[in-house]
Amino acid sequence: MIELLYPQFLILFVPLWALWRRAAHEKRLLIVLTLAIAALSRPVLPEKMQESKHAGINVAVALDLSWSMRATDIKPSRLEAAKATIRALFAKERADRFALYGFTTNALILSPPTSDTALLNAALDAINVDNILTHGTSLAHLFETLAKHPYPFQTVVLFTDGGDEPLSETVVKPLRKSGMKLIVVATATKKGTILHDRYGKALKTASGALIVTRLNTQLQKLAKESGGIYLTYVDPETTAEAIAEAIGKIAQTQTFSRKSLSYTELYRWLLLPALLLFFFHFVRLPKKVMVLLPFLASGADAGIMDWWHFKEAKQAYIAGDFKTAEHALSQVSYETIQLAFDRALVYYRMGEYRKALQILRKLRTRERDLKFAILFLEGNAWTKRRAYDKARDAYSRALTLRYDEAVYENLQKILTKKSQKERKPPVFKQKQSDKTGFASENKKSKNAGENQGKGRVKGKKRVLGYKAYELINKGYIHEKKPW
């Protein structure tokens, strides 16, 4: 029996029915549209359902991404040692399904439960700690997130130094309620070490005392409270082997079933006659094609003029003649996100910050570098208008995409201001690329309008999207004593 995989496209038959009534003389084209809509609904002939079963365990691996995990009492660092151990654990030939979580004061799922080790390792490699702005540790929030999973995990492998969070009822309650058992891997030493910032400078408290990070001794009690096992990090291979043994001891094997259904596609039998009818509809009436030639010629001419206007705008921008650049950009017939950003950049350089913000706040793109440039420019524009709260938000969102020295310094100047109503705004940094203009603002996105919505290029390293970093960085501005 024929099934439709996308029946929602059948709604298009409603306007098509109206066309049948009003333009019945164009039956050939109407038949083409009818066949095309039917093909979009993707008719298929389903074949026999195949089901495979295997035994295994659902395991959640939670990796602490807080700042203290960058400490070097475990070489090369606590975080790198934990990641190497996780890779060794994934490499073992087991039928278990692993889910990967990263957490600071917020928790973020990096990979859903899967037995695909390549996918798990790609998710692990995608973590860029420089984009994580929350520096504290919240085990309570992690356990609450794990407990809300549609299929709660029986076993959780926890890589952490424990932070300085006490073993309170808030931490233990989600474990008792969900029945999760912890395999705690103590990823720190009892002696600890001095904590440094990203520049290698030792961190100090407000009173000037050095900040020392060491293993939270309550982790062992936490593992026992959950009915789990406490392990101390030795080296990646030895620790991974100990984790695998611990999983076998405390976890109950489950049976997973995987169902797959193959189809025989039928859409091509609809598209082929539709294309033939569409082709012969115009071949038999060549005069209609001739009528279109003047319009095609004018379109080509418009494309040449657009190129000229854009070149003129770029030259004027470099020369500092922003009015001429703005006039030249207004003559371009097409509109892309990159072009709109260039227009906002010109308004910003002209001192017309309101117009620049009106454009910037409407721009939407999935292209990471262009979005960063938009937020950076928006923050600068809000700063010029002395709207420091809005500037702070723009800079913060830019930093969730990637770390940038100029943006970070601008944000710090705003956060450390005693008052937002100073007579003169502070001097804020701008990138050198802001002075060269246009496509050079984003070297990776010469035509962002064309690149919008495209997927990742095959073969390139997977990276976490900015939305993921926004989730894990939520509330970092208000974070107190994150070390």
The predicted structure's pLDDT at residue 284: 52
Residue 4 has which token pair? 């439709």
**CATH number assigned to the domain comprising residue 220:** 3.40.50.410
One domain, residues 143 and 19 = no
The Cα–Cα gap between 310 and 314 comes to 6
Query: In the chain, count of helices (H) and strands (E)?
Result: 18, 11
One domain, residues 266 and 387 = no
Q: Please, what is the end-to-end C-alpha distance for the chain in angstroms?
A: 62
Q: In Å, how far are 98, 108, 228 from 187, measured between CA atoms?
A: 20, 20, 17
CB atoms within 10 A of CB 312: 16
The predicted structure's pLDDT at residue 295: 45
The predicted structure's pLDDT at residue 267: 83
**CATH number assigned to the domain comprising residue 371:** 1.25.40.10
Kindly write down the DSSP assignment for every residue of 266-299, as one continuous string: -THHHHHHHHHHHHHHHHT-HHHHHHHHHHHHHH
The predicted structure's pLDDT at residue 432: 37
Count of structural domains, the chain: 3
Look-up: residue for tokens 């409407």?
Answer: 362
Dihedral angle, C-alpha 423, 426, 431, 437, nearest 10 °: 10
One domain, residues 211 and 74 = yes
The predicted structure's pLDDT at residue 253: 65
One domain, residues 213 and 266 = no
Among 387, 384, 365, CA closest to 374: 365
Look-up: residue for tokens 């692990």?
Answer: 124
The Cα–Cα gap between 342 and 8 comes to 39
One domain, residues 447 and 367 = yes
Residues of the domain holding 19: 3-53+261-283
With vertex at residue 161, the alpha carbon angle to CA 160 and CA 165, rounded to the nearest 5 degrees, is: 100
The predicted structure's pLDDT at residue 235: 94
The predicted structure's pLDDT at residue 84: 95
The predicted structure's pLDDT at residue 386: 87
Residue 483 lies in a domain: no
Strand order from edge to edge, sheet including 3-4: 3-4, 43-56, 254-265
The predicted structure's pLDDT at residue 462: 58
Q: b/e for 468-478, b at 16 or more Cβ within 10 A?
A: bbbebbbebee
CB atoms within 10 A of CB 245: 12
Residue 437 has which token pair? 């203009």
pLDDT in tens, the chain (483 residues): 788 888 888 898 888 887 777 765 677 788 888 888 888 888 888 776 666 665 667 899 999 999 999 999 999 999 999 999 999 999 885 657 889 999 988 888 898 888 888 889 998 998 888 888 777 888 988 998 888 887 778 899 999 998 877 777 778 888 888 888 999 999 999 999 998 888 889 988 888 889 899 999 899 999 998 899 999 999 999 999 999 999 888 877 666 565 666 678 888 888 888 888 877 666 654 544 444 444 444 444 445 567 777 788 888 888 888 888 888 888 887 778 888 899 899 999 999 999 999 999 888 887 888 888 998 999 999 988 888 888 888 888 888 777 788 888 888 787 766 444 444 445 555 553 443 345 443 333 333 333 333 333 344 555 666 566 666 766 554 555 555
